[in-house]
Structure 1
């Protein structure tokens, strides 16, 4: 299923190319829906989640649970985009990323904290 989504010619018409590690995706397909056991740990640095409004993977109703692990998280839902936001709406995706990275000091090494 993932292969059929990722390797559609439509996604290769943009000047920016995105690469997927299909071997890793195939080997870990079962685990992609799970979350590692990190109870009691948080990541408190700026974090951004970008989802398409038509995606079933990043849902607004999950924001509160996500914020338990990523208290500084911000969420962006791109209108008209599915799961592959960067391919469906590349300019919007890039704008969101550039704005986030411009506002964040991401120069330090970060770790999960207790």
Structure 2
């Protein structure tokens, strides 16, 4: 039988996409400028050809995709919103929560704030530490702000006008462009991200807030996935990671960059299947 088709749903909290009809529950959280559907390929593979191996929920984080916008960024608020969404989707059930980059930090906060909700945690290529600033993203923000939305006539026109030279990055960023009637708008809360980037080393998105250090450690099993070619996870990050998550196992995938699940999808699928059922 063909894999169960994704079904878009909306909760009182965040927008979600469901894949699979039976099995353990797995929630996927995306990175900055992403959407839950970025995990679709992985979710379909994990849920199996008949959709019975896992029930996956692809979550649009606040300020992203079709989820509501906020006026101020907060990891705790993001974590609470994800937790509320998971509880609304499956009351009383526990989840494996998987998060990449920004979503990885949010997933960590979900586990620290709501440990009873998280049966297992998978953190993909991010560490519980501050990364200084959003400097590497400021160019993307600027390109998106410079796109003259009022003059855009079609998605092809937007692609032609968009300045980003890397086709992969261009496609990723432009997935945030949505037609609303005859006009175009950004789904992502670009003003919030631009304002945070303008804070420089005071960026809340790039930071790991001190409030996390006051929370009890999460005692469940944690799979910490790192790209061998990525600079986001370093050997010295292990001590801090295990202070928050004592049962962490680091899994480094050779040849993969920051987008580990894009660079090595088969390895990620195998690792997730083994971790969820172990």
- Name the TM-score, length of structure 2 as normaliser: 0.29
| 2:205 is the alignment partner of 1:32 | yes
Superposition RMSD on alpha carbons, in Å? Answer: 3.0
Instruction: Indicate which of 245, 265, 269 corresponds to 1:70.
Output: 245
Which structure has more strand as a fraction of its residues?
Answer: 2
1:33–1:102 distance in 2 versus 1, CA, 3 Å: same
Q: Alpha carbons of 1:31 and 1:24: their partners in 2 closer, same or farther (altered >3 Å)?
A: farther
The 1-side partners of 2:42 and 2:274 are apart by 20
Gaps of 5+ in 1: 7-11, 104-114
Structure 1 pair 71–52 and aligned structure 2 pair: CA distance change class (3 A): same
Separation (CA, whole Å) in 2 of partners of 1:84 and 1:24: 22
> CA separation in 1, counterparts of 2:219 and 2:252?
21
Q: Deviations over 1:33-59 (max 9, x none)?
A: 311322242111111111100111122
Superposition map of 1:95-110 within 5 A: 95-103=270-278
| 2:256 matches 1:81 | yes
- Runs of at least 4 residues off by over 2 Å: 17-33
Aligned residue for 2:224, secondary structure, equals strand
**Secondary structure, in 3 states, of the residue corresponding to 2:212?**
coil
Moved more, 75-84 or 26-35: 26-35
Query: Which one scores higher on RCO, CA 8 angstroms, separation ≥ 6?
Result: 1
Count of residues in Structure 1 that have an aligned counterpart in Structure 2:
93
After superposition, the C-alpha distances for 1:4-28 in whole angstroms (9 at most, x for unaligned) are xx7xxxxx9xx81687746269736
Q: Which has the larger radius of gyration?
A: 2
Q: Supply the distance in 1 between the matched residues of 2:41 and 2:189 (Cα, whole angstroms).
A: 22
Distance in 2 (alpha carbons) for counterparts of 1:102 and 1:80: 26
My pick for the range that moved more, 75-84 or 18-27, is 18-27
Structure 2 CA distance for aligned equivalents of residues 17 and 102 of structure 1: 16
> Which structure 2 residue ranges, 5 or more long, are not aligned?
1-31, 44-57, 65-175, 177-187, 198-202
2:67 counterpart of 1:42: no
Report the Cα distance in structure 2 between the residues aligned to 1:59 and 1:17, rounded to whole angstroms: 25
